[in-house]
Chain A
């Protein structure tokens, strides 16, 4: 069979860079395959995607070596539009991808550009939206849709083009776990029904593997590090060395002393054919899975009966009460639109509640201004671009100190300290624009850290970070909490909550529906379902293998992880 995409000894160097970003890529992708391109940030996976959809060479110029054929033709001989008839792309940034003023218009965008007559267009739009189950939203504007819904609309628009290849650029970024699972399901359904070639670029291992893929292409430093089926890649244990996180249950097996080399069926949390698996894991859980006692910390922030609604008749936060102690790391979980961001805006004073109170360190802070609260409670927004205003990195971090009139010498020292902590010290004299998204995120956190607040609210701290940076960064958060700083982590990331938070508060529809240890929350199907979370693969794995106590197994894993960090 003729490959639909064929890289032969392909290399690419961007115009303004001295080093090539892609080196010696040899990869054949055949029609109907489902390929997952994985790799840490900076590994060249996005560049590879640009080569496939034609943004290289038509938008981003540079030098290519070797050969690339798409549908048997050299992309430079085509136009980006001709290429888009073969390769349909769904971009990571849903806000930019969604150009129409309504769902219908956005779906119709490609047809409009092809100058399709209006009556035919109306029919095809309806048919495409029906395929992704979005027909009832046809008149909605993008502001009324969730991230997952926007993605479905994009998919509808691409499906209508008859492109043979569907390219998904980080489809899971910005989706909550349940929406992410739905998205993977939808991609899989489309793949099965249409027989199109599907290429997924992602770094979230466990989430992608929820549905079968044919081959994993592992990228590292611009080269292909490995190609293989999920089973081959997982049982070889190489993911971690390329900055990717293996599924939790695979880690758990290793912790329990069960070698995974050569084991098949690792790509799903399912019953495995390893002799003595159940008894070994059960005794391991029994030994290690003792829940550590929480020390009852003195409350740093206390929220009492907060209620708020943009329209007071429709509250988005209803009677929410919670406490965060000094030195405590608390996870705030919940689906998109559950009210997590609204709650943090209430705590930081950006929004004013209709009723309820807030106190910090025993003082009532309801009347404090944003500025005054900002000195005690740092708020790191999800999107670092919304926080960065300066041109140079050191200036950005020092900004808050400068307006507070801190002497220059002290300022320099504190800025350098904060940069060191966040791993940005080597870049201190760089312009902000030279940083990657993940680095910018760390920059925005260091600019808050430098002010030394006692409590920090982190909104999706690990979004866009690969495993290596993520771990480094979170370990650093833990070390700060040991010094008495409190953290509220707003997150979709279950691993993050599991490993780093002692307690989880679950919001759903503006109410607190659960407050318990993370392991307990994430092992309870009722709570995870209501809050659009996902039962962890650990607990699914435990149930599939008939372990005595799934919760204990989860706890054992957490304890091992924590211990493991101490060893490093």
Chain B
């Protein structure tokens, strides 16, 4: 996280240039697509497109590493647990049973293996688009987009203001912790039992929360004195106007979603298993 508290990475890729609201529409369409199907033939192309977009955005891997590994680990663990707990789940979807790996109490079958593969692909298709949306959108621009798709500006602005003050609060928390440590109430090993250390930590949280409340008070004053919340609508400095590119992509997203729904209803209704 950089010091402004946002995860934004500067760049000029397609996704960087897209309007925040369009990204949001795209993200929602993508998510709906993903949840509709259980079909590897849909996920593989989506994954390829997603990865291609991610690569062209030029976000350094270091920045997204945390989110990336979090998703990978979650997906892998999820797969392992499904295989161990319900090794023959795939049979319920396909009606066939092809035993592959004996577990002792049961046997993992090929249908379940393929199901886990499909499910993992399903989760992973969400990864590139999530990362793209988070890392290529400036928080204030995002607030503007939320406002444009109909969310009241006071709520939309709350997003941006929260991001503005999170680093202040972390800093405050850190320095309070330091000063307590110097007075002998730290949270490191030498400061006593786990209980004592937890109590010390709790003692720091209270004043930081109080100061956050106080901060809210003075920020509210500052904002009111500058006329926030008095008009029915407000404009946004850092938003962009919708360009033809934005409209094209938004329409494309909606069309693809429509096509997806059509496919789901008429062709790819269920779990796709090629080997039965």
Which A residues form the contact surface with B (CB < 8 A)?
53-55, 58-59, 79-81, 84, 89, 91, 93, 95-97, 99-102, 104-105, 108-118, 121-122, 125, 141-144, 157, 161, 345, 348-350, 369-371, 373-375, 378-379, 381, 383, 385-390, 399-400, 403-404, 447-448, 451
Contacts and interface: CB of A to CB of B under 8 A. Distances in A.
Interface in B221-276: 221-231, 233-239, 241
Contacts of A122: 237
Given A80-B230, A118-B239, 17 more contacts: A84-B226, A93-B218, A95-B168, A96-B218, A96-B221, A109-B228, A113-B229, A114-B227, A369-B186, A369-B188, A371-B188, A373-B182, A374-B184, A375-B184, A386-B172, A386-B211, A387-B179
Contacts of A116: 235
Chain A at the B interface: mostly helix, strand, loop or mixed?
A: helix
Interface string B129-157: 00000000011100000000000000000
A388 B209 CA distance: 12
Contacts of B191: 371
Interface stretch (B34-42, B62-70, B158-166): B158-166
A84 to B, nearest CB: 5
Interface stretch (B12-20, B87-95, B104-112, B200-208): B200-208
A497 to B, nearest CB: 24
Contact of B231 (A104, A115, A371): A115
A97 B221 CA distance: 9
A343 B203 CA distance: 27
B200 to A, nearest CB: 8
B6 interface: yes
Contact of A105 (B167, B227, B234, B238): B238
B225 A99 contact: no
B179 A113 contact: no
A100 B225 contact: no
Contact of A53 (B172, B214, B220, B225): B225
B4 interface: yes
Interface centre among B167, B176, B207, B237 (most CB of A within 10 A): B237
B175 interface: yes
Contact of A389 (B172, B192, B203, B237): B203
Nearest to B230: A81
Interface centre among A109, A386, A400 (most CB of B within 10 A): A386
A432 to B, nearest CB: 9
A141 B1 CA distance: 14
Contacts of A350: 178, 182
Contacts of A97: 222
Nearest to A141: B4
A228 B71 CA distance: 69
Contacts of B238: 101-102, 104-105
Nearest to B204: A389
Chain B at the A interface: mostly helix, strand, loop or mixed?
A: helix
Nearest to A380: B179
B179 A386 contact: yes
B180 interface: yes
A374 to B, nearest CB: 3
Contacts of B237: 100, 104-105, 108, 111-112, 118, 121-122, 125
Contacts of A121: 235, 237
Interface of B: 3-4, 6, 138-140, 160-161, 163-164, 167-168, 172, 175-176, 178-186, 188, 190-192, 203-204, 206-207, 211, 214-215, 218-231, 233-239, 241
A149 to B, nearest CB: 15
B204 A371 contact: no
Nearest to A58: B224
B236 A112 contact: yes
A112 B241 CA distance: 15
B223 A99 contact: yes
Contact of B211 (A55, A370, A385): A385
B223 to A, nearest CB: 6
Interface centre among B191, B203, B207 (most CB of A within 10 A): B207
Given A91-B218, A387-B176, A404 B140 contact: no
Contact of B190 (A112, A115, A371): A371
Contact of B178 (A101, A143, A370): A370
Please give me the 6 A-B residue pairs with the lowest Cβ-Cβ distance, nearest first. Answer: A374-B182, A81-B230, A108-B237, A96-B218, A113-B227, A400-B183
B110 to A, nearest CB: 52
26 contacts: A55-B221, A59-B221, A80-B224, A81-B227, A84-B227, A99-B222, A100-B164, A101-B140, A101-B163, A109-B228, A110-B226, A112-B236, A112-B237, A113-B227, A117-B235, A118-B241, A125-B237, A143-B167, A157-B226, A371-B184, A374-B182, A381-B179, A386-B172, A389-B207, A403-B185, A403-B192
B1 to A, nearest CB: 12
A385 B207 contact: yes
A121 B144 CA distance: 15
A57 B29 CA distance: 48
B236 A447 contact: no
A404 to B, nearest CB: 6
A386 B180 CA distance: 9
Nearest to A81: B230
Contacts of A379: 179, 182
Contacts of B175: 381, 383, 386
A110 B239 contact: no
Contacts of B186: 369-371
Interface centre among A91, A371, A373 (most CB of B within 10 A): A371
A370 B234 CA distance: 49
A267 to B, nearest CB: 31
A109 B4 CA distance: 18
Contact of A96 (B140, B185, B222): B222
B234 A113 contact: yes
Contacts of B223: 99, 109
A406 to B, nearest CB: 11
Contact of B226 (A109, A117, A369, A399): A109
Contacts of A403: 183-185, 192
Contacts of B178: 345, 348, 350, 370
A224 B192 CA distance: 55
Nearest to A118: B235
Contact of A101 (B164, B183, B190): B164
A249 to B, nearest CB: 37
Given A93-B218, A100-B164, A143-B167, A115 B234 contact: yes
A99 B236 contact: no
A99 B206 CA distance: 24
B219 to A, nearest CB: 5
B164 A115 contact: no
